[in-house]
A and B are shown apart, each in its own frame.
Chain A
Amino acid sequence: MALIEIKDISKHFGGLKAVDQVSISIEKGQIYGLIGPNGAGKSTLFNCVAGLYPPTSGKVIYDGEDITGWKPWNVCRKGLARTFQIVKPFQKRTVLYNVMVGSFLKTSNPSEARDRAMEVLKRFNLADKWNILAGNLTIADRKRLEIARAMATEPDVLLLDESMAGLRPNEVDETLDEIRKIRDSGVTIFMIEHIMRAIMTVSDRITVIQFGKKIMDGTPQEVANDERVIKAYLGESYGAA
């Protein structure tokens, strides 16, 4: 059985159907990509899974348990950690402090939380910056901190919302390596990404949505060659919309 089962999720904002009857099933250990043109409803779908707001209808089943409409902190405690598209570091605090907020999920002992946080920082090449205020980091480091902080909660699933947007090509490659390493450590990854090269190389499976509706899902190869996807991104539907 799939680890995450998203069943016919819809989210309406007033009359707008931001997400309309989308179903996705993610296997354990996969890197699962979610793509679509701007405004397709990717982040909305993500937020429904992560508990930022409840879906209008549909279900999210995680590991056999219905987590639809759970509050974000409960979703996180259940083992699904997320990052935000617009990174939200605790700017007035140090990098270590930021990650400790994450590592406190699994321990209430401050020195243990500190040790675990330092370990996560080492993994993400932030160890030498532990004492810098998060607000003073570069964009690339903030994005990395965002992932590190989520990983400090020791999740089983990592939800990445455009972790590579705004990065330089070599930084994108570094992040891709990190994502693969995270997957290899046994964490299932569900990610939204705009950078095609990135998501095509790293994903095991991809779902494409447009105007809130699922167009298709398949392997990166299948997606890249699908006519509907090419239309969605390049033409025809652009004029039709």
Chain B
Amino acid sequence: MNSGSRRKTIDTVLKVALAVLVFTLPLWIKNPTYMQILIFMLLYAYLTTSWNLVGGFAGVLPLGHSAYVGIGAYTSTILWITWGVSPWLGMWVGAFIAAVVGTIIGIPTLKLRGAYFALSTMAFGEGVRVLAENTVKVGPCVVGGPQGICLPLVPGNNLALFQFVSKTPYYYIILIMLCIALFITWHISRIRPGYYLAAGGEEPEAAEALGVNVSKYKVWAMALSCFMTALGGTFLAQLTLYFYPKQILGLDFSFELAFIALIGGRGTIAGPVIGALLLRPVSEFTRIYLSSVLPGLHLVIFGAILILVMIYQPFGLVRPLSRFYDRMLDALSGEKKKER
């Protein structure tokens, strides 16, 4: 069919164009503020993609993922400041610790259903924050208590130490991290563990009767999710070069990840990206223009958007958007056919 192949060509062209645009964006945008907003957009898309592994595919609602962001940030930073370990290495240590902690937390809590799991993860997240706020020093390691940690500056663009004056390297690093995370979720959704996770998330008893050890797969997803989240935590620390418990371990951080996933489309691959694309600007601009009037207003706006999305598009914005994209392709390929 000619229109079918034409449709495919247009689809490919559009996707390649999008990829080229995304990968060349730093060439067009020179303003560091806008770059920073873009980088945060990608970082949130990355973190939510990681969250989505357990929050979307495994069908539970973790509300304490900031704890793992924090574990990543604190681990790599403390290792660097105390022992001079490059954050590039430290990030893996942090990710490993986060995965272990996630497993330990996941084994008892993932057996809980619905709100109970959400509440227990929230309690854990808050627990980690309070712990960090009350710890100034552990042995030789400076944790900094409520003031957090300021990373010592390194002159120039230093790839080995993960610090750059220019925003462009950060952009590419997080873009690649996001691409890998998206690839991982895409791959998992197509193989047995992905099927088992989704099945266990939807009807645990039925899945177990079909030979699925549901808890095992959920814990496994939790560990991977925490691992990836912590890598994002190190990135955040290197980007902002300063972090403190209330910011990096706060509940509103955890909530924002959940909001992004729910609005974009929980359990879908593109959902977190679409959610971040939509919500990050809202978050940034309310912070820039309205934070002096009403701090935390962005969460109120998120809530309002969430209510609207849940009423009109309970599966998130991925569905209407992909339908729109399909129709656009139809229209484009259809028009071409008429011309011929």
Residue numbers of A with Cβ under 8 A of B are 50, 52, 71-73, 76-77, 81-84, 88-93, 97, 100-102, 104-105, 108, 110, 113, 149-150, 152-153
Contact = CB atoms under 8 A, between A and B. Distances in A.
Given A71-B208, A149-B210, 17 more contacts: A71-B213, A73-B212, A73-B213, A76-B210, A83-B209, A88-B205, A91-B202, A101-B199, A101-B207, A101-B210, A101-B212, A102-B210, A104-B195, A105-B210, A105-B211, A150-B210, A152-B210
A90 B192 contact: no
Contacts of A92: 202
A90 B208 contact: no
A149 B206 CA distance: 10
Contacts of A110: 190-192
Contacts of A50: 209
Contact of B202 (A81, A93, A152): A93
B211 A77 contact: yes
Nearest to B214: A73
Contacts of B209: 50, 72-73, 76, 81-84, 150
Interface of B is mostly: helix
Contacts of B190: 110
B198 A90 contact: yes
A153 B212 CA distance: 11
A105 B210 CA distance: 8
A89 B212 contact: no
11 contacts: A52-B205, A73-B209, A73-B213, A73-B214, A84-B206, A91-B202, A97-B195, A97-B198, A101-B199, A104-B192, A108-B192
B223 to A, nearest CB: 19
B210 A153 contact: yes
B12 to A, nearest CB: 23
A72 B208 contact: yes
Given A82-B209, A84-B206, A104 B198 contact: no
Contacts of B170: none
B203 interface: yes
A152 B190 CA distance: 18
B199 A76 contact: no
B191 A73 contact: no
B244 interface: no
A197 B213 CA distance: 37
A113 B211 contact: no
A162 to B, nearest CB: 15
Interface in B184-202: 190-192, 195-196, 198-199, 202
A110 B196 CA distance: 12
B196 A104 contact: yes
Nearest to A105: B211
Contacts of A52: 205
Contacts of B206: 84, 88-90, 149
